[in-house]
Amino acid sequence: MKLIVATVKPFKLEEVREALTGIGIRGMMVTEIKGFGAQSGHTEIYRGAEYAVNFVPKIKLEIAVSAALADQAVETIARTARTGKIGDGKIFVLDIEQAMRVRTGETNEDAL
Ligand SMILES: Nc1ncnc2c1ncn2[C@@H]1O[C@H](COP(=O)(O)OP(=O)(O)OP(=O)(O)O)[C@@H](O)[C@H]1O
Ligand SMILES: [Mg+2]
């Protein structure tokens, strides 16, 4: 199993969710975040400490998928979230050690 952590532009959330549903992904976590990438992380020094002053709102998606589906999910997110302009986001893929559906006790891929 893989955990896909992706940031997307907020207005892209619905399109990305629909596309992921279309390839069989049945659940995801969605969080409103602020972050910065290569351009927008302006920082300034104030009393010796460095502060970020320009965080941009993004949506963070966390999606647990079978390893077999991971590449297709990444490709789907990238294709639907891309505008070609700066700030289209990032996609990270991590290994999942264990998963459980709390209601039934099902584990790992049965829990997805
Ligand atoms: N190295 C990183 N680690 C964790 N999160 C990151 C990292 N870089 C970017 N992000 C997250 O991704 C969001 C979008 O970043 P962004 O798309 O601007 O990245 P970028 O590298 O600047 O690419 P681009 O050149 O397309 O703007 C950030 O707001 C932040 O939430
Ligand atoms: Mg950027």
CA of 78 to the centre of ligand 2 (A): 15
Half-sphere exposure of 93 (CA within 13 A, CB side): 15
CA dihedral 2, 97, 59, 90 (to 10 degrees): -50
Q: Per-residue pLDDT for the chain (112 aa), expressed as one digit of tens each?
A: 999 999 999 999 999 999 999 999 999 999 999 988 887 667 777 778 777 777 888 999 999 999 999 999 999 999 999 999 888 999 999 999 999 999 999 999 999 9
Q: Is 112 in the pocket of ligand 1 (CB under 6 A)?
A: no
Q: What domains appear along the chain, each with residue ranges and CATH number?
A: 2-111 (3.30.70.120)
Rounded to 5 degrees, what are φ and ψ at 46? -135, 115
Proportion of the chain in helix, strand, coil states, percent, rounded to 5: 30, 35, 35
Q: pLDDT at position 53, please?
A: 72
Q: Which residues are paired to 91 by β-bridges?
A: 6
83 lines ligand 1 (CB under 6 A): no
Query: What is residue 40's predicted lDDT score, i.e. its pLDDT?
Result: 67
